[in-house]
A and B are shown apart, each in its own frame.
Chain A
Amino acid sequence: MSDIVLDVRNLRVDFPTRRGILTAVDDVSLTIRKGEILGMVGESGAGKSMTGMAILGLLEPPGRIAAGSIHLSGDRIDQLSDREMQDVRGRRIGAIFQDPLTSLNPLFRVGDQLVETIRLHTDLTRAQARERAKALMREVGIPAVEERIDNYPHQFSGGMRQRIVIALALCAEPELIVADEPTTALDVSIQAQITALLKRLCRERGTAVMLVTHDMGVIAETADRVAVMYAGRLAEVGRVEDVVQRPRHPYTVGLMGSIPSLRSDAEELQMIPGAMPRLDAIPPGCAFNPRCAHAGPKCRQDVPRIDGPGAACWLAMEGATA
């Protein structure tokens, strides 16, 4: 099928350390189609950001892709050199990170940063690029563009800065945008503005988006499909309304239950006992089995895996754990 923009197959990311190899991402397979928003959700250390970084080619050494493949619109990108990857980033993949201040150079006017990025990836002249920069700033909803284009990043508020970062990511009309916690540093009323903007732009341009966040609320309102990660592995993948309303993996069920709901008046919140295992202490079998109320003998021996929609749970896959 030609409308698959991102195709990740059996991706594994390893971190060699003195005490042995830690596997931060373990056998993850995903696809994102044109114009589709895939939400990647999980708790800190679940491997969701690491998956995004691997796709961007920005893994910090000693972290490395140890197995699997990443294809962007049919082209394999996980084996490119740093130089080639630099060209893919920006031109074909845009990136949006949590903290807009670190994504912008504080010493340059935002307009110049936009113009430079546009000229790097297109053949436009300086004057044309400046017009394009203004159009982009208008598109992401920055008021008084004529004056604001010559401001420095510190003269913008957090929400406005994140709009500039989105404009930067869109400069070269990329096929894919990886957005890692794009709204986490922002206030709630601004968060809604930014997610709505991201969603509108991607719909209009047909850009595929990988939206990495810990916030199930953002996913529920923004994503089309969702991948839930736990301890470096995929726990559940599916359409967002299925996963949110009818979760099948016991971890997803627990995760949903622990979010304080506006509808329930229960005195106690549902909780999952214990905590996610550290990467150096992942139990054999299903990584969730020590915290799972339904775990059987098979769960303690064999790792359940999925490479498409479904729940990586022996109970869900085979209907029994006996």
Chain B
Amino acid sequence: MTAILEVDALERRFDVSAPWLNRVIERKPRRTLRAVDGVDFTIERGQTLALVGESGCGKSTIARLVTGLHSPSGGSITFHGDRDRMQMIFQDPYASLNPRWRVGRIVAEPLRTLRPDTPDSMVSARVDELLRTVGLSPSDASKFPHEFSGGQRQRISIARALAGEPEFLVCDEPTSALDVSVQAQVLNLMKRLQREMGLSYLFISHDLSVVRHMADVIAVMYLGRIVEIQPTADLFANPLHPYTRLLLETIPDLEAPKRDRAPMGGEVPSPVSPPSGCSFHPRCPLAFDRCKAERPLRRAEVHDRRVACFACEEKAHV
């Protein structure tokens, strides 16, 4: 297998200081938010890597770094492919389509930008074909986005992303604005397109049951760091990090609902002032002194670089 995307020691800091005058008068220090704090992963061609985590963990920032909408503060992103053949699907199909443009123009935009000398007849033939690929009809090209439901709009976003014949798609919560029955339609479509066109996905979601259905590899993020990364089946069969176990615990099981479970306490701390050492230690049932002082790394001798956790390290050595 060959890698299509390699991310190494990626960092992104945001300056969230108070305005200059307040800093001078109120003697407030500069404050930085480490949205992405030393992240590395690799995506193989034709595969899906999913980033999961709760809000504020930095997963959307990574999507924006990979697509070049933000520039990294440190580390590197290496894309082994044609930059023009990377596209993005956004979460909100209401905000990501221009309401004043007809669908045909929206879908044709990447074509007109990337290959400006394509004749009009070929562009419209391609738009018809794309609309059919995503399960819409060619006559929809003359309609405006408001004439479509949420699920249909997300299909339009997918058709637009496919127009540039991408090999790599970044999908930031593509179905979380949709109802479940429509979500199933969009997820099935995305899987079919991956099979037929050999696409690679960076798939971002907070929903572990969606991710289990879509991803080959799952990276679990907490406060800007990857705490665990494993092939999907292994992650669900043998979750290593205590945070991953907490997340798995919260997935409702419809066949055998856990009606009297005791939910785990605590909340996600503010990313502006994360806890010392392992940022999960205040909520962790396994935490000991070392977790407060030192930052755990994913090390080769501990579960083959799959987890960043001292408790797992100790267990592995025993």
Contact = CB atoms under 8 A, between A and B. Distances in A.
Interface in A240-262: 244-245, 254-262
Contact of B54 (A188, A256, A275): A188
Greatest chain A CB density within 10 A among B181, B261, B265 is at B181
B151 to A, nearest CB: 6
Interface string B172-183: 000000011111
Contacts of B236: 262
B152 A262 contact: no
Contact residues on A (Cβ < 8 Å of other chain), bracket: 35 or more
B289 interface: no
Interface in B154-187: 179-185, 187
B210 to A, nearest CB: 6
A136 to B, nearest CB: 19
A70 to B, nearest CB: 27
Interface in B261-304: 261-265, 267-268
Interface stretch (A263-271, A294-302, A309-317): A263-271
Contact of B188 (A188, A263, A269): A269
Nearest to A259: B180
A305 to B, nearest CB: 23
B193 interface: no
Interface stretch (B100-108, B125-133, B250-258): B250-258
Interface size on B, as a range, is 35 or more
Nearest to A221: B257
Contacts of A24: none
A43 interface: yes
Nearest to B270: A157
A272 interface: yes
B55 interface: yes
B185 A187 contact: no
A190 interface: yes
A187 B252 contact: no
A271 B179 CA distance: 12
A192 B250 contact: yes
B191 interface: yes
Nearest to A268: B188
B262 A221 contact: no
A253 B159 CA distance: 30
B212 A262 contact: yes
B151 A275 contact: yes
Contacts of B150: 44
Contact of B213 (A188, A244, A260): A260
Give the 8 A-B CB pairs with smallest separation, nearest first.
A217-B252, A258-B184, A192-B263, A43-B179, A187-B54, A269-B184, A271-B184, A220-B257
23 contacts: A43-B182, A187-B206, A187-B268, A189-B54, A189-B246, A192-B263, A193-B263, A215-B252, A216-B252, A218-B252, A220-B252, A221-B261, A245-B255, A258-B180, A258-B183, A258-B184, A260-B210, A262-B251, A263-B253, A269-B184, A269-B213, A272-B181, A275-B152
Interface of B: 54-55, 149-152, 179-185, 187-188, 191, 206, 208-210, 212-213, 236, 246-247, 249-255, 257-259, 261-265, 267-268
